[in-house]
């Protein structure tokens, strides 16, 4: 499976390098685009679940690293739950 990483910037300016077990994230994110936190969360959930299921189809088990990444994204996003205008920028995919 082709692994893909995507670098993001949270609303406070901190950056994070994120992991996907599949290139499917490129269907959900465009480098240089800003997403409202809630939208970013939904896109992340869908992309990482699809990636995990692709691993299941190929190897017979889900990708725990994708689910760990999603858990980290959800935890980090909670910091901005009281900021309805908070945006996440996707810096790059690679």
In a domain, 25, yes or no: no
Integer-rounded Cα radius of gyration of the chain: 13
- What is the Cβ-side half-sphere exposure of residue 92, based on CA atoms within 13 angstroms? 2
Per the CB < 8 A criterion, the answer to whether 86 and 36 are in contact is: yes
The predicted structure's pLDDT at residue 56: 95
What letter does residue 22 receive in the DSSP assignment? S
Q: Quote the number of domains for the chain.
A: 1
CA–CA distance, 20 with 23 (Å, rounded to integer)? 7
In a domain, 16, yes or no: no
The predicted structure's pLDDT at residue 24: 96
In a domain, 79, yes or no: yes
The predicted structure's pLDDT at residue 72: 98
How much is the mean pLDDT over the chain? Answer: 97
pLDDT tens for the chain, residues 1 to 94: 689 999 999 999 999 999 999 999 999 999 999 999 999 999 999 999 999 999 999 999 999 999 999 999 999 999 999 999 999 999 999 9
Q: What is the DSSP string of 28-93?
A: T--TT-EEEHHHHHHHHHHHHHHHHHHHHHHHSS--HHHHHHHHHHHHHHGGGTT-TT-EEEEEEE
The predicted structure's pLDDT at residue 81: 92
The predicted structure's pLDDT at residue 1: 66
Residue range(s) defining the domain that contains residue 92: 1-8+35-94
């Amino acid at each position: 499976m082709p692994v893909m990483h995507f670098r993001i910037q949270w609303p406070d300016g901190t950056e994070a390098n994120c992991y996907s077990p599949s290139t499917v994230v490129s269907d959900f994110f465009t480098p240089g685009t800003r997403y409202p936190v809630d939208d970013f969360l939904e896109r992340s959930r869908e992309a990482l679940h699809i990636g995990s299921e692709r691993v299941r189809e190929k190897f017979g088990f889900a990708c725990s690293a994708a689910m760990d990444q999603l858990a980290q994204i959800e935890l980090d996003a909670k910091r901005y739950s009281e900021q309805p205008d908070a945006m996440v920028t996707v810096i790059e995919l690679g």
